[in-house]
Each structure stands twice: as structure tokens, then as C-alpha cells.
Amino acid sequence: MDITRRDALILSGSTLAAASMGVLRPAGATGQTAQQQTQEWPNTLQEAPLREGFPVPLPLNADGSAPEHPESAAGPIEGRLMWQTPDRTTPPGDPDYRNMAIRVDPRGLARMRGTLRFSDLERLPRVSGTYLLQCGAPTPRGIVKWTGVRFSDFADMIGLVPGAQYARFLARDGAYVDEDVETLRHRQVMLAWMMNDQPIPADHGAPLRLIIPFRYGRRSIKAITEIVFGTPALPPPPTTA
């Protein structure tokens, strides 16, 4: 099909506008099949099939916390690990937790800001917990012993003010999660650098990952590079090329 120069300019302008609003996504980024992407979108609400096998049950205690398992039950995580890299493989980076350098930007909501080092976390009480890590899909899953520090102790260390409502965690692969501070201060939530008494491997989120055992695995974001706080607004999410 031939288009005029004027049509091309109009299309380019529309494309730019869509990109500025975060509308454009690479093919497959929405999780839709090719057939779904080519079908005309219905102009009324219609019944649609649910995603098969998703989500799987996430066993929780009556108070909403995660069941704690004996250390003897700890083992590997089964299933393919998902990253948001183009080929879904582990992004490059130094996995040694002793070399971690994580940007902490409280946006005026804490007494301390700058680069978080392992020496900072090392001064805090060390804690361990053995929990089921379960994705919304059947796998990955596994009962894992995590070791690190409680997020609440980290928040107190930097002097986070009570009015801070949300935190955003950005990862090496461009992924991010937002979580409310009240949830993050739960006694089971930690910043972990050890997995089954060994340094977390690069595939599993070294040098530091968030552990929220009463959420599905995606919320326990891997390979943290930055922590940002907000109340209530957070900065725009990172854009992808």
C-alpha cells in the first residue's frame, strides 16, 4: 500500500504520541497470542476464557502471613526462571553481595540517601526464614531458606518517615514492583542475599532481592538496583527501548 508524505507524517506523529504515553509495546509484550493481537477488539464486554492454570493456590495462614517451614524442607526452586531481558536470560552484573551498590532515593522522606552497600546491611540484625516461593503459574516454585535483614530494620536505619506510603524496587533487567510501606514492614519481609545458606546465585537474583513470602514470586523482585520512596505519587516507571 502506498502512502503520501503527509500520511507518513501523520502516522509518525501518532506513533510518537503513543510512545510518550507508554502505549507502544514490543510484539508479545502484553502476553497475548498472535491470534489475539490480530483480532478486532470487541466494542462491548464479552465472556472470555480465563488463563488456564493461573493463578495456582497460594497457601497462607489465617492472618495472611506465609507458613514457615523447617530448614530441612529447603531445596531448589523448580522451573524456568523468568527475566525481562529480550531472551529471558539472566542479565549481566556482579553477583557478589559484598560488592552491591544500590541507589536509595527517598525523595526527601528519609534521613539518609545515596548508595546502599553491604557494609550498611551488615550492621543490622540478620534474620532467616524458610518459605514457599510460588509463582502465579505452577512453576517456578520451591521451599527456600532466605537470609538477610528485615525491610523494617532497613527502613528504620535510613530514617524513613511515617508518612512514606510506597516504595518502588527497580531491577537489573528493567523490571520493577511497587509495594506499600505497611506491607513491607511486615515481619516476614526481608532484603536477602543468602539462599539455602549460600550466596544467592545470579539466576535467582544476586546480589540482593526482595522477599515477600505471602505474595506470588514476582513480587519478590530479583537483582535490585534501586529503591525509591513516594507519598503517594511515585516517579514514572522506567521506559524500555
Residues of the chain with pLDDT under 50: 1-30
> pTM higher than 0.85, yes or no?
no
What's the pLDDT score for residue 234? 83
Rounded distance between C-alpha atoms, residue 55 and residue 137, angstroms: 6
Which of 22, 45, 92 is CA-nearest to residue 236? 22
What's the pLDDT score for residue 34? 52
Q: Give the SS3 label for residue 180.
A: strand
What's the pLDDT score for residue 6? 41
- Phi and psi based region of residue 28 (left: phi greater than 0; alpha: psi -120 to 50; beta: remaining): left
Class of domain 95-230: alpha beta
DSSP 67-118: PP--GGG--PPBS----SSTTSSPPPS---GGG--EEEE-TTSSS--EEE-H
Domains of the chain: which residue ranges?
A: 95-230
* Predicted confidence (pLDDT) per residue in 54-79, tens digit: 999 999 999 999 999 999 999 999 99
What's the pLDDT score for residue 206? 98
What's the pLDDT score for residue 15? 39
What's the pLDDT score for residue 201? 97
What's the pLDDT score for residue 194? 98
